[in-house]
């Protein structure tokens, strides 16, 4: 059975995802939707997609679409995902999942109530080398995990008209890059008990750089950094009582890790992704649908909610109050 996908959005993320879709078996992208008909038409022509819709509503109502991949700015995810789930469509929602924790909770509650598949597009968790790190941790290779360190910074020249810096479009370091460092920590440590953060702001109030400390009642911790004003290595380290695992930069789509067992020589492991790495999450969606699952065991919805909670704590401490986009579809 061919699973038919529709793409909501025509930006950089959607473009990268579609380019990798050639590596996804038993699936096809049948439609794309945008608020601007000309953008949808151009995107469809560039990628050989049969149908271009001039609204997200039309994409959602397309009978030839089984799954909607949502790659619009963060504050638009809530409305599109909600409408898609209500129409009985499975959804793969780009990270950050939503602009607010309340918006994320509403999507999760609706998907669970309707029995519709829903997953955050946290592609990092599906990279082969990250899956290998997960297996090493589960096997006890580095003992009990105590700490995670992760940084992800990129210099972007400030432009108040660019989506990256626009608060009403979910711009800022936390939702764009912080989601990765918080997610990798949550993946190996679980939901923290406390969040402490400090950061800087762009002239329009969007967060520019942020340092985050996740604390756990049993003493575990995560030290995280995200920035849109500074290039950083992009390394993640999972440290345990018997050693550590380093996800070699840049950790959010790595192909190499280094295992350091206490008192032993370091071991380097390479696991290359298929294509650029986006195909793995689409393959997981198709696998779950074939099995009748409504959540992925790799990115369960509770994990997404835990990450959203931590990010909202960060933004609150920075004096930032994000909101969802309520513009009609």
Residue 106 CA neighbour count, 13 Å, CB half = 15
Active site residue 95: yes
What b-and-e string marks burial along 73-84, b requiring 16 or more CB atoms within 10 Å of the CB? bbbbbbbbbbbb
Phi, psi of 29 (to 5 degrees): -90, 115
Burial readout 288-307 (b: 16 or more C-beta within 10 A, e: otherwise):
bbeeeebbbebbebebbbbb
How many CB atoms are closer than 10 A to CB 47? 16
CB-CB contact of 314 with 192 (8 Å): no
Beta bridge partners of 195: 214
Cβ(210)–Cβ(173) below 8 Å:
yes
The residue annotated as part of the active site, out of 95, 220, 252, 253, is 95
Torsion angle of the four alpha carbons 53, 295, 324, 209, in this order, in degrees rounded to the nearest 10 = -110
Query: How far apart, in whole angstroms, are the C-alpha atoms of residue 176 and residue 321?
Result: 15
CA distance 60 to 200: 39
CB atoms within 10 A of CB 286: 21
Per-residue burial over 19-38, b = 16 or more CB atoms within 10 Å of its CB, e = otherwise: ebbebbeebebbbbbbbeee
Q: How far apart are the C-alpha atoms of 253 and 44, rounded to whole Å?
A: 27
Question: Which residues are annotated as catalytic?
Answer: 95
């Amino acid at each position: 059975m061919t699973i038919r996908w529709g793409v909501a959005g025509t930006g950089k993320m959607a473009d990268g995802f579609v380019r990798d879709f050639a590596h996804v078996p038993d699936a096809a992208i049948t439609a794309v939707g945008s608020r601007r008909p000309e953008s949808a038409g151009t995107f469809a022509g560039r990628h050989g997609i049969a149908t271009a819709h001039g609204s997200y509503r039309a994409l959602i109502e397309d009978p030839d679409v089984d799954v909607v991949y949502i790659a619009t700015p963060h504050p638009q995810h809530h409305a599109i995902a909600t409408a898609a789930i209500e129409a009985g469509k499975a959804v793969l929602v780009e990270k950050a999942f939503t602009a607010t924790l309340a918006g994320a909770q509403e999507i999760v509650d609706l998907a669970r109530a309707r029995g519709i598949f829903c997953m955050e597009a946290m592609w990092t968790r599906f990279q082969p080398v990250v899956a290998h790190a997960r297996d090493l941790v589960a096997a006890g290779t580095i003992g009990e995990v105590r700490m995670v360190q992760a940084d992800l910074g990129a210099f972007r020249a400030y432009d108040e008209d660019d989506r990256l810096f626009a608060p009403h479009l979910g711009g800022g370091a936390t939702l764009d890059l912080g989601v990765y460092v918080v997610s990798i920590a949550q993946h190996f440590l679980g939901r923290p008990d406390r969040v402490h953060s400090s950061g800087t702001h762009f002239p329009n109030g969007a967060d520019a750089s942020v340092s985050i400390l996740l604390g756990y009642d049993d003493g575990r911790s995560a030290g995280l950094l995200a920035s849109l004003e500074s290039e950083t290595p992009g390394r993640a380290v999972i440290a345990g009582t018997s050693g550590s695992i380093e996800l070699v930069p840049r950790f959010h789509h790595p192909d190499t890790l280094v295992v350091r067992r206490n008192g032993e020589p370091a071991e380097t492991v390479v696991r290359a992704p298929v294509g650029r790495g986006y195909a793995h999450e689409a393959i997981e969606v198709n696998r779950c649908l074939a099995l009748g699952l409504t959540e992925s065991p790799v990115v369960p919805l509770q994990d997404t909610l835990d990450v959203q909670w931590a990010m909202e704590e960060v933004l609150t401490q920075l004096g930032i109050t994000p909101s969802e986009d309520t513009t009609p579809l």
